[in-house]
Amino acid sequence: MNVKRMAPALSLACIVLAFAGCGSGEAPAGEQGVEPAADTLPLSIPAPQVLDGFLIATPEQVREWQEENVDFALVDARDTIQYAREHIVGAINIPYIEIRAGALLPPRDRRVVVYCSSETCPISQYAYEALDRLGYEEIYDMRAGLQGWKDAGLPTVFGADSAVESR
């Protein structure tokens, strides 16, 4: 018997046997009528939105976290002049350039939400990437920025004094 001549036939037989049980359309014995398990994640927990590889938080979601006293750092990644002009209530100012340089930052295991001026401003994305490189575990980009926050009718602070709010 010539093994070289039989190799193609043996290969074909192995392929046929491998696919014989696939896609038969019948459930294995004892499993007929069993439906696949439903998703067990409660509907009250929304799946995080991901855009271009970034976890996205909406202004409404961030405000909800604030009202529910969820532990997170809201980081305004704009420069100090923009922050002093107007920022979101409860935000701390860590300009992107300082984040990149490894400034005094929140603990790495703390949830961090970064934002900048508006949806077209890339600074929050840069800050997100820098925090990711630094090993932060839970980072969100509030892509809508300060403008999206204001468009949602949420309060901001004018000046460096966090006591002066506006709606």
Tokens 């750092």, residue?
73
Mean pLDDT of the 67-85 span: 95
Which residues of the chain form beta strands (DSSP E)?
Answer: 49-51, 54-56, 72-76, 86-88, 92-93, 111-115, 139-141, 156-158, 165-166
> Strand 111-115 vs strand 139-141: parallel, antiparallel, or unpaired?
parallel
**pLDDT tens-digit profile of 77-88?**
999 999 999 999
The span from the CA of 83 to the CA of 78, in Å, is 6
Q: Are 141 and 125 in contact (CB under 8 A)?
A: yes
How many CB atoms are closer than 10 A to CB 93? 16
Q: What is the DSSP letter of 4?
A: H
Does domain 49-157 match CATH 1.10.3720.10? no
| pLDDT-above-70 percentage for the chain | 64
Phi-psi region of 52 (alpha: psi -120 to 50; beta: other; left: phi over 0): left
Q: Is 81 helix (H, G, I), strand (E, B) or coil?
A: helix
| Predicted structure pTM score | 0.68
Alpha helices (H) along the chain? 3-20, 59-67, 80-85, 96-100, 123-133, 145-151
Q: Is 147 helix (H, G, I), strand (E, B) or coil?
A: helix
> Mean pLDDT score of the chain, rounded to an integer?
78
**pLDDT tens-digit profile of 131-159?**
999 999 899 999 999 999 999 999 999 97
